[in-house]
Homo-oligomer: A and B are copies of this chain.
Amino acid sequence: MLKSERLKTILQVVKTQKFVTVDELAQALKVSDMTIRRDLNELHKANKILRIHGGAQLLSDQIRTEKSYQQKREIHSKEKYEVAKRACNLIHENDSIYVGPGTTLELLVANLKVKHLRIVTNSLPVFEAAKDNMNDYDLIMVGGSYRRISGAFVGALANNELKTMSFSVGFVGVNGIKDTSLTTANLEEGQTEGIGLDRSQIKFVVADYTKLDHSDFHQFYDLRNVDGLITNHGIEPELEKHYSQFTTIYK
């Protein structure tokens, strides 16, 4: 493979996954890690990516311009990536999974490598990410009314459609977790996510540590009813102990 071809591939990967490690790239492109480092440094010098310890991520301004609808995307990219990778390990071949809206869950489906999955989502960004994933998944969109701000489909249509389905695993993101309450900014979105969880045999909530011990307006689910809280290492031991009373912590 030509060098410029490799550089282009790297850029492509960074764009879709927001973050990559040196090892991942070295394995995928079948070159040594040193070569990848040199490539990343070159791309960094050309101001195409942001070089960080262990890998690279999208430039924050690229994140902003790419999708103007959310500034959330530009922060905590690495943390979200960690959480997403952890969540990937909980998915197995032939699963039918529900994936709610949220940037972390976009990363989840973008980084999935398990084969033979049925992915159901009510989020357009998540759908797009799954569509761009190299593996050829059975992809189902839950339609409904469109919320421009989050890119999610919600309302009675979405809810009714979800109620006709059953999932082996379900993942939702949150804006905050306070005590045993999962909270979000929008009532309708929370309701739809709640139904997605209800219809899932195993229920996971995905939240980097910045979401813990914070509360948003609408409570939409009880932490005691979910099977796992997927977060990253940044979680404070005190909080971990607190939440582990109610559910399993994956970090």
Binding site for B on A (CB under 8 A): 2-5, 18-19, 21, 52-55, 57, 122, 124, 127, 131, 138-146, 148, 153, 157-158, 160-161, 164
Residues in chain B near residue A55, CB distance under 8 A: 2
User: What is the CB-to-nearest-CB distance from A119 to chain B, in angstroms, rounded to a whole number?
Assistant: 10
Asked if A143 and B146 make an inter-chain contact with CB atoms under 8 angstroms apart, the answer reads no
Given contacts A140-B146, A148-B131, A157-B140, contact A53 B19 (CB under 8 A): no
Given contacts A3-B52, A5-B57, A52-B3, contact A153 B146 (CB under 8 A): no
Given contacts A5-B19, A55-B2, A57-B5, contact A145 B139 (CB under 8 A): yes
> Nearest B residue to A130 by beta-carbon distance?
B146
15 additional A-B pairs beyond A4-B57, A143-B143, beta carbons within 8 Å, are A2-B19, A2-B21, A2-B54, A3-B53, A4-B19, A5-B19, A5-B57, A124-B141, A131-B146, A140-B145, A140-B146, A141-B143, A141-B153, A143-B158, A161-B161
